[in-house]
Structure 1
Amino acid sequence: MKKRRICFKYLFVIGTLVFHVKANLVTAQQLSVKARNGAVVSIDKYASQVGVGIMKKGGNAIDAAVATAFALAVTHPFAGNIGGGGFMLIRLASGEEIGIDYREMAPALATPEMFLKPDGSVDIEKSNFGYLVAGVPGTVKGLETAWQKYGKLPWRTLLQPAIELAENGCYLNKYDAKSLALNKQNLARYPETRKIFFKPDGNTYATEDLLIQKDLAATLKAIARRGSKTFYRGRIANKIVKDFQANGGILTKEDLKNYEVKIRKPIKHNFQGYEVIGMPLPSSGGIAIAEMLNILQQVGLNKETPLDPENLHVLIETMRYVFLDRTRYLGDEDFVEVPVNKLLSEQHAAVIAKKINKEKATLSESLYQNVSVHDENMETTHFSVIDKEGNIVSNTYTLEEAFGSKAVVKGLGFLLNNEMHDFNINPNQANIQGGLGTNPNGIAPKKRMLSSMAPTLVLKAGKPYLITGSPGGRTILNTVLQMVLATTTYKLSLEEAMKLPRLSHHWMPDLVYIEKGLWDNQIIKALEDKGHKFAEVEFLGDLHSIRVNPETGEYEAVADPRRAGWAEGY
């Protein structure tokens, strides 16, 4: 067994070198930087530089996060947004920990059956595109709330870089240009969207093309002058509602007026001498990651070799059981009762740990108990921030699918989310036993849809150690989990952890998703012998992260090379 583990360790080193070469052929990126005064890492060069620029002007990590988020709304329309929502996790240098929930809400006229046809089947068109599928946006108010409570610089200063990027234009990187091309057909559905993202010849903007967004610049200027009230109560709100009414949407002035940002107490637990901090519901990230870490702590892992098949088998089985719990129990806690204390207890972890057969994969179908499953999309974006005082921010936000609903609000220049799709949209869906499933994430007026977004912070000896998070739909939870394990249990550097190949299991379907071309056949064969079945995907996650060296205090910011990314620091 010892020789086998050493063999797998060398395979890990070789595999990560191959990955590094492959990734750097995709696009020019500043993948890592070391800094002392502050750092921002995101998917986009402009946004990361904007965030660091704000800190150089005297802003703190919260100011930088707000400015970065607004910049991404311009430069990364694939997921950056003012028409969507998300979660911001903050730890101040004073030790205060805050979760800002600016997740979208269902309009007051929403109903559980709103996406069903008369025959009871789901209307794919309505549940994916346009105005009916848009939830009440939370980003503008969420970012303003963070700034009001914890920022330092003037509000206008934080929006000015985004305004200039929209007004003067930004050059598209390979990833965003490719995303526009891949979504060309659906983006072309809407004249206002075509006006912004298509050239006169009918093609979408390509790599290194200058994308100018005058309408979005004007919207950002209004927000800079009047704050979020113009978006939720004023002239912008009126234009949003008028466009919804003209295009079959149900969002009203009252929906915008009544939107609330929630300040929530983060989920916090200990793992092998580290403190792991995550978002509470309606983010499933904090609970699910804590539950998985609790189980793994009970089962135990070989701490020398991350890719030991014995470790990976236990990891997959842990994912399987926790995703069953996620589907069975989790939803907006303001609407449904969730046994959070039970799920986070050592007793619950011990029960699951005892069920894990170390020699054989469990059949997910055998665990099925009156629950229905829904899909979540991969298109989200995450960024991490730290300032010289040690304030830290982990922020994940989204439009749901790529470019959200594909509809741009007339005259305002921003895309709407299609976040209603993140509810379980078919209340009549039967489980494999033929019965109706429980539906804690069903649609209800003013309810927030369950999310897999998982901004995460890790402390060591009470000081910042890791800032991380990822896009990826349901894969987010497992991606972030693997980053936490890599930097704590396996003591890898952040760059080594970033190159480690990833896998993900979601209970149903009963498949282990692995990154194409990054896994050694011997490892896969060892897991197949235990009964696991595999499916390949291009990549899993986009973990733009920052690690603080506990010995030197130096900031190590690393962008994930899987999509695009830029680490900036000073």
Structure 2
Amino acid sequence: MRFTPRFVVPPVITALVLAAPLTAFAQRMAVEAEHGMVVSAHELAAQVGADVLQRGGNAVDAAVATGFALGVVYPWAGPLGGGGFMMIHLADGRDIAIDYRERAPAAASRDMYLGPDGNVLKGPGSSTFGWRASGVPGDVAGWALALEKYGSHKLTWAELIEPARRLAADGHRLTQFTAARFRGQAEKLGAFPDSKKIFLNGGALWRAGDLWRQPELAATLARLQQNGPREFYEGETARLIADAMARNGGTISLADLKNYTAVERVPLRTTYRGYEIVTMPPPSSSGIALLQMFAMIEPFDVAALGPNSAAKYHLFIEAMRRAYRDRAEYLGDPDFVKVPVAGLLDRGYIAGLMKNFDPNKATPSAGLAPGNPAGWEPPKVAMLQARRAELAAESTETTHFSIVDADGNAVANTFTLNGGFGSGVTIPGTGVLMNNEMDDFTSKPGTPNQFRLIQGEANAIAPGKHPLSSMAPTFVFKDKKIFLVTGAPGGSTIINAVFQVITNVIDFDLPVSLAVEAPRIHHQWMPDVVNYDPYGLSTDTMEALRAKGHQLEQRNFFGAQRVPVIERYPNDTMTIMVDPATHLRLGAADSRKPDSKAVGY
């Protein structure tokens, strides 16, 4: 691996960029820092985290402060009504996975989102919209667990929440992007009085530059400061959530909130070309899929194929296809189903998945059978025949931030409401916007969800169960030292975004900023379509891929529905590289999200 001087792009990379297809992104240089770095989708949240590092807090302290701040300034993806995953690397060498994914309420049932005709419900009462769409939120519990066990204990819980409380109480100036997001979801938000009041200015709509205050959310944060994290699950906030749910036919009860706990899990790890990759285990599907894809492509000389060649894209598509096929068949909450992790990650098994790989021809997804990993015990009901359905556009509504502190501790954190502004419901009196995470379960095995993902019986709804996820907070190590911290939003596209950023650095030696900004593709087995960034593939490359049998679809179209301009780039990967030679923290905030920022000190 070669490392170039600071801010200098070598001639070979300049030539590569000039020869590459036109991208829609203005290239950013990585932000350098000697001590600590926070990279987030919103500048204000990144600054909050960096301030915590400067005050002597560690990466976990900064993560808690950053998460709460995003809940205020990035409301369509980061409010307290969601859940996610946190990967923690400690300077002493330990790696920890915190699972604070939402759980299904006790009142949930396997067929709760099927209508009388047996088909999946749409609109109010569905898994995507309204009071019945939410799982029990995990953000507060997850961050509290991380802080209690792995924080520096130099800053208190209340001190770490204070920047977010101030942002909510005193307000902040809305960016053009945020104001556009509010307008873009006016129909959903307008259906619920508190959401209309807060996010749509009572129907008058907010404009860029407006001072936006959230007094009810500020009061909720103040209660958390005063009474601790269990206030959200057992105190006044919990009562407000449960009462509102009961009044409106929702499914989350006070007992569901009281019984919620975050879970510490053991990360998954593998090696790839001399690097070690450490990532999330189930109930995230990301870790298994990522490690499978790296193992599938490692036998090939990827660097020799070239970063923008049809041959490289073909190889990557076929690896994605096979990993997502296994995802659909075998992945679910390990607390409820036996996920054959060892069998799925066995190198011999993975090599077998690629036995029918043809470098000249696409493998049709419809005829691709799943593998048969050791340790698999099928659920009682077999997965139904996969079929396509009329579906909504891909959601981008997850957010990721990455942090490295002065001592070498690191956090990769991804959390979400699932769809844009979640269920659309804001709990009266709290300012808390709720998730629509129940759609990440299999409402009907074999029928795609809002991300067009087909899932199996292993991910069927059950009380207390975590839905399957694609969130992929990930570390890469070189010589046992942290090298990359990365992750992304983008629903089902998350896994492939993280995969491509890592290969851009390892296989093509791209500077981290260019590795993040480079165009990306996506394939998820079903539908059998390759999505690509606008302007991301040259005409010659597209013709070569079509000649191999691939169907291509630009990201700004999904079926007949045109996606708004601001949603055409779902994967804003927030990445930090620690240069092994200089030890500088190099922060790369993806310009696919215009408010993103890397802040270091």
TM-score of the superposed pair, with normalisation by structure 1: 0.93
Alpha-carbon separation, structure 2, partners of 1:66 and 1:17? 39
Alpha-carbon separation, structure 2, partners of 1:80 and 1:286? 22
Q: What are the Cα deviations for residues 237-279 of structure 1, in whole angstroms up to 9, with x where unaligned?
A: 1111000001111111111111111000000111110010100
Comparing 191-200 and 405-414, the one that deviates more: 191-200
Distance change >3 Å, CA 17–CA 62, structure 1 → 2: farther
Comparing 115-124 and 213-222, the one that deviates more: 115-124
Q: Displacement, 1:35?
A: 0.2
Alpha-carbon separation, structure 2, partners of 1:79 and 1:9? 34
Q: Displacement, 1:220?
A: 0.3
Tell me, what secondary structure is at the counterpart of 1:513? strand
Tell me if the contact between 1:31 and 1:559 (Cα under 8 Å) persists in the aligned partners: no
Residue 470 (structure 1) aligns with:
488
Distance change >3 Å, CA 10–CA 91, structure 1 → 2: closer
Residue 169 (structure 1) aligns with:
171
Matched, 1:13 2:17: yes
Residue 187 (structure 2) aligns with:
185
Counterparts of 1:461-500 in structure 2, within 5 Å, are 461-500=479-518
Counterparts of 1:75-90 in structure 2, within 5 Å, are 75-90=73-88
Q: What are the Cα deviations for residues 411-463 of structure 1, in whole angstroms up to 9, with x where unaligned?
A: 00010001001111125859xxxxx9841111001000000000000000000
Tell me, what secondary structure is at the counterpart of 1:552? coil
Q: Displacement, 1:332?
A: 0.4
Alpha-carbon separation, structure 1, partners of 2:357 and 2:239? 55
Residue 566 (structure 1) aligns with:
597
Give the one of 429, 453, 458 matched to 1:411.
Answer: 429
Matched, 1:524 2:542: yes
Tell me, what secondary structure is at the counterpart of 1:89? strand
Q: Displacement, 1:226?
A: 1.1
Comparing 296-305 and 557-566, the one that deviates more: 296-305
Comparing 450-459 and 523-532, the one that deviates more: 523-532
Distance change >3 Å, CA 545–CA 428, structure 1 → 2: closer
Alpha-carbon separation, structure 1, partners of 2:58 and 2:488? 23
Q: Displacement, 1:492?
A: 1.0
Residue 433 (structure 1) aligns with:
none
Comparing 420-429 and 206-215, the one that deviates more: 420-429
Alpha-carbon separation, structure 2, partners of 1:283 and 1:429? 20
Q: Displacement, 1:306?
A: 1.3
Counterparts of 1:75-474 in structure 2, within 5 Å, are 75-125=73-123, 126-127=125-126, 128-152=128-152, 153-200=155-202, 202-303=203-304, 305-367=306-368, 370=383, 372=386, 377-427=395-445, 429=447, 438-474=456-492
RMSD: 2.0
Q: Name stretches of at least 5 consecutive residues in structure 2 with no aligned partner.
A: 1-11, 371-382, 449-453, 556-567
Tell me, what secondary structure is at the counterpart of 2:572? coil
Tell me if the contact between 2:446 and 2:456 (Cα under 8 Å) persists in the aligned partners: no
Tell me the amino acid that sits aligned with residue 305 of structure 1.
G
Tell me the amino acid that sits aligned with residue 105 of structure 2.
P
Alpha-carbon separation, structure 2, partners of 1:475 and 1:341? 24
Tell me the amino acid that sits aligned with residue 149 of structure 2.
K
Residue 67 (structure 1) aligns with:
65
Residue 563 (structure 2) aligns with:
none
Tell me, what secondary structure is at the counterpart of 1:70? helix
Alpha-carbon separation, structure 1, partners of 2:21 and 2:315? 26
Alpha-carbon separation, structure 1, partners of 2:364 and 2:17? 32
Alpha-carbon separation, structure 2, partners of 1:46 and 1:210? 14
Tell me if the contact between 1:138 and 1:261 (Cα under 8 Å) persists in the aligned partners: yes
Alpha-carbon separation, structure 1, partners of 2:13 and 2:351? 29
Tell me, what secondary structure is at the counterpart of 1:498? helix
Q: Displacement, 1:499?
A: 2.3
Tell me if the contact between 2:387 and 2:446 (Cα under 8 Å) persists in the aligned partners: no
Alpha-carbon separation, structure 2, partners of 1:507 and 1:468? 24
Tell me, what secondary structure is at the counterpart of 2:426? coil
Alpha-carbon separation, structure 1, partners of 2:181 and 2:387? 27
Tell me the amino acid that sits aligned with residue 536 of structure 2.
L
Residue 3 (structure 1) aligns with:
none
Distance change >3 Å, CA 9–CA 509, structure 1 → 2: farther
Alpha-carbon separation, structure 2, partners of 1:483 and 1:96? 24
Residue 5 (structure 1) aligns with:
none
Alpha-carbon separation, structure 1, partners of 2:15 and 2:250? 53
Distance change >3 Å, CA 229–CA 280, structure 1 → 2: same
Tell me if the contact between 1:441 and 1:449 (Cα under 8 Å) persists in the aligned partners: yes
Alpha-carbon separation, structure 1, partners of 2:592 and 2:324? 25
TM-score of the superposed pair, with normalisation by structure 2: 0.88
Alpha-carbon separation, structure 2, partners of 1:314 and 1:402? 32
Q: What are the Cα deviations for residues 497-521 of structure 1, in whole angstroms up to 9, with x where unaligned?
A: 1221100001111100000122211
- How much identity, in percent, do the aligned residues show? 41
Tell me if the contact between 1:303 and 1:490 (Cα under 8 Å) persists in the aligned partners: no
Alpha-carbon separation, structure 2, partners of 1:549 and 1:567? 16
Q: Displacement, 1:176?
A: 1.7
Q: Displacement, 1:333?
A: 0.9
Distance change >3 Å, CA 32–CA 300, structure 1 → 2: closer
Alpha-carbon separation, structure 1, partners of 2:446 and 2:89? 42
Tell me if the contact between 2:182 and 2:200 (Cα under 8 Å) persists in the aligned partners: no
Tell me the amino acid that sits aligned with residue 314 of structure 1.
L
